[in-house]
Chain A
């Protein structure tokens, strides 16, 4: 105990406070039995919230997936085509040669003179 003699005024006040709080203290048995129901309710509430959040996410994901599967897959080519303002620079003379294959005459149309062929060796 470290109180000094001239601390009696404070000691008296604290003693009165101690008496008042001691009289107003809850019964020991009530304190030891307290809180179990409250805690279980709190736990249930938290679990319920978590379950609701998970269910919302799952439903959201599933519904968005269904929507994506049902939507027709297609590309609007008109929207995809685009002409650059500098395209005219590519329009050079003879530019068609770069885009087409050269035409080579077919063998059937070729004329060979087989009669003029001579064997030189025996």
Chain B
């Protein structure tokens, strides 16, 4: 695949990748953008190569997940070394559509809050299945867990999420 083709494919998948990066970064938009930048650079530089064992989409989400983990480790190390992060020099993209953002903002906040209360594994599985529309087996492959474990986390996650969302309803 040429670099231009790769760029085009990344661009098509970019909105979903951003959602996944947000989920991996606990909703921190700045960090999610950093993670995406690093993941895209890694892929475009050829340091992460698609081996065809899964779909390219699953592979891309896997790269983003690993990058987010590496970012988290680096942030922890920086924090341990008392190296406070510098102020952001690149302003976040000012392009979000206000109408679209306003639409369902309340529901989104409820869902985000409920997801934040779930254990990490359950949160990741629900995101991959419902948001990214992967199968449980694809999600299990991406998270490097067995399909049985993935099913258990998925069912428990759904049940807990419903309870949490039910508690939000008036």
Q: Could you tell me which A residues sit within 8 Å of B by CB distance? A: 1-3, 7, 9-11, 13-14, 16-28, 30-32, 34-35, 37-38, 41-42, 45-46
Please, which residues of chain A bring their CB within 8 A of the CB of B18?
21-22, 25-26, 31
Is B79 part of the contact surface with A, judged by Cβ < 8 Å? no
Given the known inter-chain contacts A27-B95, A38-B88, please indicate yes or no for A3 contacting B103, CB distance below 8 A: no
CB distance from A46 to the nearest CB of B (A): 8
Contact B15 A25 (CB under 8 A): yes
Q: Could you tell me which B residues sit within 8 Å of A by CB distance? A: 7, 10-11, 14-16, 18-19, 22, 33-34, 36-38, 40-41, 44, 83, 85-86, 88-90, 92-93, 95-97, 100-101, 103-105, 107-108, 110-112, 126-127, 129-131, 133-137, 154, 158, 161-162, 165
Which residue of chain B has the shortest Cβ distance to A40 in the bound complex? B89
Contact B107 A13 (CB under 8 A): yes
Please, which residues of chain A bring their CB within 8 A of the CB of B38?
35
Given the known inter-chain contacts A2-B154, A13-B165, A35-B37, please indicate yes or no for A24 contacting B86, CB distance below 8 A: no
Please, which residues of chain B bring their CB within 8 A of the CB of A23?
96-97, 100-101
